A and B are shown apart, each in its own frame.
Chain A
């Protein structure tokens, strides 16, 4: 800051000797801008934002649990480690939540295949003949899976069968345009349906 003021004064003295008043004004303006920029930088480094650099002082904080005690370790810039321990009442609920894996897993809605088939039979979005045509397609698909399985080539043609399955499902979903709820549920159950096809044995 002081350097900028000195520079400005010395430049002013230099130009006062000449007749370039306009140039002097321009240079003064530039210097004023520099000063403003310098002040802004100063405020940034020494102002309230300095609190954001606090984590530098405490570089690492670790918590460890020893029985009912919680041991808090803090490592400062100087490398000294400050360890404080405080007793903490760990509730049984906390422990049960952390140890029970069933609670931590996000529950997925169960898919009832029989219910889906029943809804497909009952829906008014598809006509009787169309339903019968879909049924024929599904039975043909099932037959082809069984024949591959009997030949022992199921693994080999799994990709081909999956493509066929996707096409079949796409047809059904397109037909269920007037029953978006059922369409959505079938879409969600896609993998379950595929697995049930592979598991089914005639």
Chain B
């Protein structure tokens, strides 16, 4: 009975749109800048910040290419391939 109720509850739960993960966000940004990524989720993400507020994110796309996403302190985004 418990199993049936749980299954019914899961079935009738509204499908909520989950917030975008950082891996998805990075992959989308790379693709938005016109670079091939081969999928919608990046991996091996590393982030560094400098004293001026600039952020540097390095990530690997599903196609194996590694990119660097630079976000300046005023919010400008640039993407450059690393390999």
Contact = CB atoms under 8 A, between A and B. Distances in A.
Contacts of A178: 17, 20
Contact of A132 (B17, B22, B75): B75
B4 interface: no
A130 B17 contact: no
Contacts of B19: 124
B69 A135 contact: no
A137 to B, nearest CB: 8
Contact of A128 (B17, B25, B32, B33): B25
Q: Is the interface of A mostly helix, strand, loop or mixed?
A: helix
B32 A130 contact: yes
A124 B77 contact: no
B33 to A, nearest CB: 7
B32 A133 contact: yes
A133 B33 contact: yes
Given A133-B77, A136-B76, A171-B32, A127 B71 contact: no
Nearest to A177: B17
B20 A132 contact: no
B29 interface: yes
Most buried by A among B19, B22, B26, B69: B19
Most buried by B among A129, A135, A136: A129
A126 interface: yes
Nearest to B22: A127
Interface string B4-43: 0000000000000101111011101100110000000000
Nearest to A179: B17
A54 to B, nearest CB: 60
B17 A124 contact: yes
A129 B22 CA distance: 8
Nearest to A137: B32
Interface in B41-60: 57
Interface of B: 17, 19-22, 24-26, 28-29, 32-33, 57, 69, 71, 75-77
12 contacts: A126-B20, A126-B25, A129-B29, A129-B71, A129-B77, A130-B25, A132-B71, A132-B75, A132-B77, A133-B33, A136-B76, A136-B77
Question: Across chains A and B, which 8 residue pairs bring their CB atoms closest together, nearest first?
Answer: A127-B25, A127-B20, A124-B19, A129-B29, A133-B77, A178-B17, A130-B28, A132-B77
